Structure 1
Amino acid sequence: MDNTNQPLHPELRGLSVVITGGAKGIGLATAQAFARQGARVALLDMDAAALDEAVAGLAALGAEALACQASVTDADAVERAFAQVEQAYGRIDVLVNNAGVSANKPTLEVSVDEWRRAVDINLTGVFLCAQAAGRRMVPAGSGAIINLASM
């Protein structure tokens, strides 16, 4: 019997998953992995063009995907994005905090502004998204937060 198209984790089918930094790289690969298991994915990213391309690619796989353009550093934008997901999917089961940046240069060459940007995205963004997800997960009595983003 060929089970190559069967999900490895059928318990993920129908879950609503928010992935920050989801339009490309590790975030998009994470979205694809969840989608292959039957989860509904919402990609939160600042790059509108990359979001559109990512959602189209996920739809081509037969996945249910939602684009949420927002900066993880903007508390109001994060709240609006999570409300959008909740309205579309009815709930939020999983948050994958993946958005992150680095100056990609030796520490002695990193400016204070570059450092602050990294802290805002990599730390404050994780906090704001976890808080927005938690406001929905705690009353529901369930949910999971996976933090990939780090310094």
Structure 2
Amino acid sequence: MIVSLDNLYHSEFSFLPARSEKGDLEFVDIITNFASAHGDVRIPTELVLPRMSDDEQCRLFVEKLELIETCQHFFIQRKVFAWINLTPAIANTLLSDTELASQVERFSFLELTINESYPELNKGKDNPTLAALAARFPLVLTNYGAGGISTRAIF
């Protein structure tokens, strides 16, 4: 994906592995940075997301799905989860777009992550969007304990 801020930036994906205390690979977080045309400037997704439209966020999500599809045998054979972060725009699209939802459901090793900055996370099960997502997809709360939410969000 190409994003235009003051300059053009393209998405670059990387895998961030997480291991257990025994050294076993537990999951791989799919990370995106945006790089300038010459590669001399890199911007983390968190700084670019506020400037992206809902459609652009969904396209980036689809690019991540395409990436894990190319290496799905790795995840399946090793019984390792792939994590992809959800924004509210992606969450709403997943609930309204049956084609995208079925594409996500094909990946048994995929877990969708939300972080503490997700809107109305403190409502927990009373958040209709999160309740509908949790009924259909595996959700993971990342960076819990960073501040800002109560335990109601996870219980």
TM-score by length of 2: 0.32
Higher relative contact order (CA 8 A, sep 6+): 1
Q: Which has the higher helix share?
A: 1
